[in-house]
Amino acid sequence: MVDANLATEIAARLRRDILRGELLPGAKVKERDNAEGLGVSRTPMREAIRILATEGLIVLAPSRSPRVADPTFQELSDQLLVLRTLEVLSAELACSRATEDDLARIHDLSDQMADLYETGDSLDLFEVDMAFHTAIADASHNDSLAETHHAFLSRLWRARYLAARQWRNRSRARADHDAIVAALMVRDVAAVRAALETHLGRLADDIRPIIEDERGAAAKGMRN
């Protein structure tokens, strides 16, 4: 029987390794080596890899080692369009459906980000940021919407992290989040729609040069 908690912990560690670039796009994720490195059996490691595969961070193929996903910019751009639509719809619904506890959680996560903006670790800040967006989706109280949002958010974690860790994007995101929270607190549908369109509308442009540079460097490395 798989220890679900252990598998989840291993998945979280591997996820952070992927986000930090310790496991690069296209890299093999060797089940045995990673299990030995963490001092665990292959069973929870296999389950952790499966978790990350459902999130789109790892790609599975028959009779081959799992690999870190290596999406093209066009694939990411298409997914970002869907994510933006889901997030705007979630926020619009949250304006009428969110409970006071939902709004308090969103506000609390925004405060946590504010504390981390200047001195916090970029990955810690990013994880709170993703929790913030997840909380808005949950506040829609539409399970199908929240589940679909989670699937696309997970798939885009690495691309969004690469964009978010740039200082200019971090400082800009702070103002965006303040505007989103302010609109939600007064349940202003038009204002929250505009705030999220502003916040998410730049993501593709932010991500493009990073992904293209990364893929170019990988191609050059293969030639060498």
Which CATH number do you get for residue 175?
1.20.120.530
| Winning range, highest mean pLDDT, from 73-77, 97-101, 123-127 | 97-101
Domain membership of residue 220 (yes or no) is no
Domain boundaries, position 169:
73-214
| DSSP state letter for 208 | H
Q: Give the contacts of 163 (CB within 8 A, at least 6 positions apart).
A: 169, 203, 206, 207, 210
pLDDT in tens, 8-34: 999 999 988 888 888 888 889 988 888
Residue 144 has pLDDT above 90, yes or no: yes
Residue of 97 and 70 predicted with greater confidence:
97
Tell me what pLDDT residue 25 has: 86
Tell me what pLDDT residue 135 has: 98
Q: Give the contacts of 202 (CB within 8 A, at least 6 positions apart).
A: none
Whether residue 209 sits in one domain with residue 130:
yes
- The torsion region of residue 154 among left (phi > 0), alpha (psi -120 to 50) and beta comes to alpha
Region 163-174 average pLDDT:
72
Tell me the C-alpha distance between 39 and 13, whole Å. Answer: 13
Residue 216 has pLDDT above 80, yes or no: no
Least confident of 15-19, 104-108, 179-183: 15-19
Domain boundary among 19, 46, 68: 68
- Structural domains counted in the chain: 2
CA 61 to the chain's CA centroid: 23
Q: Give the contacts of 35 (CB within 8 A, at least 6 positions apart).
A: 41, 42, 44, 45
Whether residue 89 sits in one domain with residue 191:
yes
Tell me the C-alpha distance between 12 and 9, whole Å. Answer: 5
Tell me what pLDDT residue 222 has: 47
pLDDT in tens, 20-71: 888 888 889 988 888 888 888 899 999 999 999 988 889 998 888 899 988 8
| DSSP state letter for 127 | H
pTM: 0.81
Whether residue 99 sits in one domain with residue 11:
no
DSSP string spanning 49-117?
HHHHHHTTSEE--TTS--EE----HHHHHHHHHHHHHHHHHHHHHHHHH--HHHHHHHHHHHHHHHHHT
